[in-house]
Amino acid sequence: MTYPMNGFLKLFTFLLAIQILAACQNQNKEQTENLKNTQIITNVNLIDIRTGDINKAQVIIEDQKVKSILAPSNKTIKDAVLINGEGKYLVPGLAEMHAHIPSVIWNDPQMEETLFLYLSNGVTTIRGMLGHPLHLTLREKADSMAILSPRIYTSSPSLNGNSVTTVEQAQSMVTNFQKEGYDFLKLHPGIRLHVFDEIVKTANEVGIPFAGHVSTLVGIRHALESKYGSVDHIDGFLEGLVPESLEVNPSENGFFGYNFTSLADTSLIPELVQMSSENKVWVVPTQSLFTRWFSPIPADSLANQPEMQYMAPEVIENWTNSKVNLTEGEGYDPEQWEDFMHIRKRLIKSLHDNGQGLLLGSDAPQVFNVPGFSIQHELQAMVDAGLSPLEALQIGTINPAKYFNQSGKFGEIKEGASADMILLDKNPLEDIRNMEHPAGVMVRGTWISRDEIDQKLKSISDKFKTEK
């Protein structure tokens, strides 16, 4: 069929108009969908985690990131979800740098509950310290937001005195763990010196960090010179304060050096701290282990704390037995514990002030350390050791981001950073306990209100009530 020229032009113009109209409709649809994904935390007291400055702001979130930070305004964006920040305070989500994750499939209820307990207290990043092949899948699910979870970094399965006994095993295990995609190696006690050195050599060759415990056969000085990614629990430091002239048997150190408390020469602290700085070795104190599990506080008192309702009854029973066995025998002296803790606090403060730095971690779930809730105890322990509330928050935000070479991508509230935030009713810089019971938590743009937190916590508690 043929058309006159003017008829062809009319048809062409008509078809072009339809295409333009369709394009405009698609664009409007995309804009509407984008707006539905827009969230605004309005008129909030935004804490600059680097300086401690507080400014009124509205924070706009899109696509899991902070899009912009603006001055307070009464203007609204159509279809955006508003989160009322009036009178409240906003800080970045925390990192739990010594976490444990169940070794169950990613959609198991136990996994969901554990991850939610972390989130309920504002933990939006976790460093799993006892890895399992299942955690590699879990990390992918968390990255894609297929599950509600903190960001996950995972260690390898344990390298210890039983699992790796030869140089050949060290070479094989380290190489395989790196190929399998673990973020770092987890070292446990008992590794012999020559095997440790092969672990370090192979790890450096294949490019995988290592972190965790310091074997007594290795010693803190050699560990620091070997450039651990992090030494956890301040392991080995107290033993390193015992003068060599005393010729102690390092295997008789007790619980993280407790037996050597009276032998420790605290004038050696600056040397160890300097070594940590020179070799860029971070330290994760997990001080709440020592203020709770290893403290003179009666087991029954801890077992009856409100947060224990979120753990299974058999777990509480096991924790009670563990604490009784550790702290109620003849080898435990509350006065010696006080001296032991005084040394640990001095180490924490000095490592923070003059070492490579600290990373916030509580070792949860460990004895009477409930995931999420234990990070609150750890924050308080850091303040008790001499850090300011701001400094305590920094070791759980900007320090972990720096540790993972992700500065600016998470750990602070700035344009382009991951939308991980905690909304608080009171200023945590005035009292670190104001971090407890957040008004809401955002993890990579997903908002969890206080009501949602309470409902989920209640469902966990109710489940365990029926098991009693």
pLDDT of residue 467: 65
108 in the Ramachandran plot: left (φ > 0), alpha (ψ -120 to 50) or beta? beta
SS3 state of residue 230: strand
Alpha carbons within 13 A on the beta-carbon side of 297: 17
Q: Say if residues 125 and 91 touch (Cβ distance below 8 Å).
A: no
Spatial separation of the C-alpha atoms in residues 465 and 468, rounded to whole Å: 5
- The β-bridge partners of 68 are 60
Residue pair 283/350 in contact by the 8 Å Cβ criterion? no
> d(Cα 77, Cα 56) in Å, to the nearest integer?
19
pLDDT tens figures, 427-456: 999 999 999 999 999 999 999 999 999 999
- My answer on whether omega of the bond before 334 falls inside 30° of 0, hence cis, is no
Q: What are 108-147's pLDDT values in tens digits? A: 899 999 999 999 999 999 999 999 999 999 999 999 999 9
What digits encode the pLDDT tens for the residues 64-90? 999 999 998 877 677 899 999 999 999
* pLDDT interval class at 13 (50, 70, 90): very low
| More confident of the two residues 307 and 15 | 307
Answer for the pair 57, 72: CB distance below 8 angstroms, yes or no: yes
CB 431 within 8 A of CB 50: no
Mean of per-residue pLDDT scores for the chain = 92
Q: What is the pLDDT of residues 259-300, one digit of tens each?
A: 999 999 999 999 999 999 999 999 999 999 999 999 999 999
Q: How many Cα atoms occupy the beta-carbon half-sphere of 410 within 13 Å? A: 27
Q: Write out the CATH class of domain 93-407+449-467.
A: alpha beta
Q: What angle do CA 16, 19, 20 make, to 5 degrees?
A: 85
| pLDDT above 60 for 181 | yes
Read off the pLDDT band of 14 (50, 70, 90).
Answer: very low
pLDDT given at position 35: 41
| pLDDT greater than 70 at residue 33 | no
Q: What percent of the chain has pLDDT over 90?
A: 87
Q: What is the pLDDT of residue 468?
A: 58
Residue spans per domain, the chain:
93-407+449-467
Q: How confident is the model at residue 458 (pLDDT cuts 50, 70, 90)?
A: very high
> Residue 367 pLDDT > 90, yes or no?
yes
What is the Cα–Cα distance from 36 to 127, expressed in whole angstroms? 32
Strands 210-212 and 184-187: parallel
